[in-house]
Amino acid sequence: MKKIILFVFLISSFLSCINEYGEIVNEQVDDILYSDLPPEWSNGENRYSATWESLDTRECPEWFEDAKLGLFVHWGIYSVPAWSPVGVYAEWYQHWLVYKSTWGLGIDYGNAVGEYHTRTYGADFSYYDFVNNFTAENFDPNEWAELFEASGAKYTAITSKHHDGFSLWDDETANKTWGFPWNAVTAGPKRDLLADLKSAMSGTSVKFGLYYSMYEWFNPLWKKTNKKQYVTEHMLPQFKNLFVKYQPEFIWSDGDWHLPSSKWYSKEILKWMFNNSPNRDTLVVNDRWGTDANKKYGDYYTSEYGTGLKDSSKAWEECRGMGFSFGYNQNEKLEDYSTGPNLILLLCDVVSRGGNLLLNIGPKADGTIPEIMQTRLREMGSWLSAYGEAIYGTRAWKTTHQWSDGTVPEFNSGTMLTRSYDVVKLTVNPDPGMAVKELYFTQKDEYIYVIVTKGSSFDFTIKDVDFADNISVYSLSAGKDVTYQRDGNFLKVKAIPVDKFIGYPAVYRIKGIK
């Protein structure tokens, strides 16, 4: 009889946790997410339930696929030491220091960061001591906002909090969990860096977005065996505070790789945002919500120093730096940075395959953006101001690129953290005997855009095309129609050399091919 009573009790308890939509409700999680919300959150619609099947029916807001270029901004305590071997993430400084192991893209650098730290700061100097030097005294959010817009980027993702747990806003949860001041308002700069930047960006066309790390390497609660305590007492209330306070248009979630989405309550978080947030119709989120979510769920899929995604039926984004590190690395010299033309080639390569490029910059601890990064952003913006119609709002054509003669290199789609995908070698500086991508293609409305990787001085031939009755070929570089010749299913175009953007790709707009 006792077993029957216990069974009935358990069934009743289980049924009481099922809501009207058939979802199993975690009351603790719901209490965190739905309590004490501002009035504008009260008009939510139950369009989505907390299942991947339901959430995956949501289409990626069109603005994201139109945007094509975003800016990643890695800024935090790691910007103080700002050091790692070239080819290593400097924002992982604390991790390399504590574990006495440094590596990057498969190369083991031993205890390089630990040795540098001891040599420079002394063995007794803690990573947490760097907070006193994270001053941001020269941070001018209006200058940042102007630069972001000048770059041609359409959205940003700034590190609200990286894996070291330091928050760039007035985050009481961080102070409580860590047991000492560990956010930018109560320590270091003593100002709300996110609020200042968002305010400055409100006067631009660039959308304000946030990066957020779900886990923290050495958070006292994370170090405990019971990860649920970290999630429910730290991560969930912290993320809620961040999202409600700043209402970003873009969330770049990260640090998810230790737990499945069910343990992060990711589906509950996404349901909450997609149903209730005031910007629910325009919000874009990535795919890093748990070990079971990457490249399976989310508005779009992420690639990091990767080969990108071959299938453009799902929105995707490649992220990487101008040098290598995301956080500022003083060890990277001029030759370690991509040139302006090479960054444009990278952008064209990604966009032609239906993706977005999230290009990183790493400000210094004082809040200034290194000159080389500013220069590169303005160079990109200048090219985009002239040729942006071949980039913004476009989609992948049936042919994304055209190879020259030679041996075509092979890549596995979806590979990440690889040195093998070098867009410069793939376009303008190949190894002997190797083919190059001589042309990139994009499409918009009735036009096909042809991006000639070698520039405006080179004639080109488009192979294997079908023709309409009327064809026009217009050079955006020269600002006029150009001469062309049909030869079977080939279209041969005569170039008009111009003396602007020398060394950069040239762009042609064609009507009448398919």
Q: What tens digit of pLDDT does each residue of 313-337 get?
A: 899 999 999 999 999 999 999 999 9
Residue 469, classed as helix, strand or coil, is strand
User: For residue 456, which amino acid is it?
Assistant: S
Q: Looking at residue 342, what is its pLDDT?
A: 97
Residue 23 has pLDDT above 60, yes or no: no
Residue 9 has pLDDT above 60, yes or no: no
Residue 140 has pLDDT above 70, yes or no: yes
Residue 22 has pLDDT above 60, yes or no: no
C-alpha angle 17-21-22 in degrees, rounded to nearest 5? 50
What does the pLDDT average to over 374-381? 98
Confidence bin at 1 (pLDDT 50/70/90): low
Residue 443, classed as helix, strand or coil, is strand
Residue 434 carries which DSSP code? B
**Is 45 or 183 the better-scoring residue by pLDDT?**
183
Quick count: other Cβ atoms within 10 Å of Cβ 192? 20
User: For residue 453, which amino acid is it?
Assistant: T
Q: What is the pTM (predicted TM-score) of this model?
A: 0.94
CA distance 423 to 376: 17
Confidence bin at 25 (pLDDT 50/70/90): low
- Largest separation between any pair of C-alpha atoms in the chain: 92
What does the pLDDT average to over 379-383? 98
Residue 274, token pair as written in the block: 């997609």
Q: Looking at residue 13, what is its pLDDT?
A: 42
Confirm if 69 and 350 have CB atoms less than 8 A apart: no
**Is 14 or 149 the better-scoring residue by pLDDT?**
149
What does the pLDDT average to over 249-273? 98
Q: Of all residues in the chain, what percent carry a pLDDT higher than 70?
A: 95
Residue 178 has pLDDT above 80, yes or no: yes
**Is 310 or 463 the better-scoring residue by pLDDT?**
463
Confidence bin at 159 (pLDDT 50/70/90): very high
Picking from 323, 331, 304, the residue whose alpha carbon sits closest to that of residue 112 is 331
CA distance 334 to 312: 34
CA distance 144 to 313: 34
Write the CA distances from 64 to 15, 154, 355, 360, 446, integer angstroms.
40, 9, 10, 17, 21
Residue 382 has pLDDT above 80, yes or no: yes
Q: Looking at residue 440, what is its pLDDT?
A: 98
Question: Residue 339, CB half-sphere, CA atoms under 13 Å: how many?
Answer: 11
| 474 phi and psi angles, rounded to 5 deg | -120, 130
Confidence bin at 414 (pLDDT 50/70/90): confident
Q: What CA dihedral angle connects 258, 260, 263 and 266, to 10 degrees? A: 110
Mean pLDDT of the chain: 93
Confidence bin at 26 (pLDDT 50/70/90): confident
| Chain-centre distance for alpha carbon 56 | 20
CA distance 357 to 315: 11
CATH 1.20.81.30 fits 52-390, yes or no: no
| DSSP bridge pairs for 441 | 450
Q: Looking at residue 486, what is its pLDDT?
A: 94
Residue 124 has pLDDT above 90, yes or no: yes
3-state secondary structure 279-332: CCCCCEECCCCCCCCCCCCCCCEEEECCCCCCCCCCCEEEEEECCCCCCCCCCC
Q: Looking at residue 193, what is its pLDDT?
A: 98
Q: Where are the domains of the chain?
A: 52-390, 401-513
What does the pLDDT average to over 47-73? 97
Picking from 150, 169, 165, the residue whose alpha carbon sits closest to that of residue 230 is 165
Q: What is the CATH number of domain 401-513?
A: 2.60.40.1180
- Within 8 A by CB and 6+ apart from 157, the residues are 70, 71, 72, 73, 209, 210, 211, 250, 252, 358
Q: Indicate the burial class of 485 (C-beta count within 10 angstroms; 0-12, 13-18, 19 or more).
A: exposed
Residue 212 has pLDDT above 60, yes or no: yes
Q: Looking at residue 5, what is its pLDDT?
A: 46
Sign of CA dihedral 487, 490, 491, 495: negative
What does the pLDDT average to over 173-180? 98
Residue 115 has pLDDT above 80, yes or no: yes
What does the pLDDT average to over 367-391? 98
Q: Looking at residue 14, what is its pLDDT?
A: 42
Confidence bin at 10 (pLDDT 50/70/90): very low
| DSSP bridge pairs for 360 | 72, 321
Residue 20 has pLDDT above 80, yes or no: no
Q: Looking at residue 494, what is its pLDDT?
A: 96
Q: Which of 154-163, 393-402, 408-417 has the lowest mean pLDDT?
A: 408-417
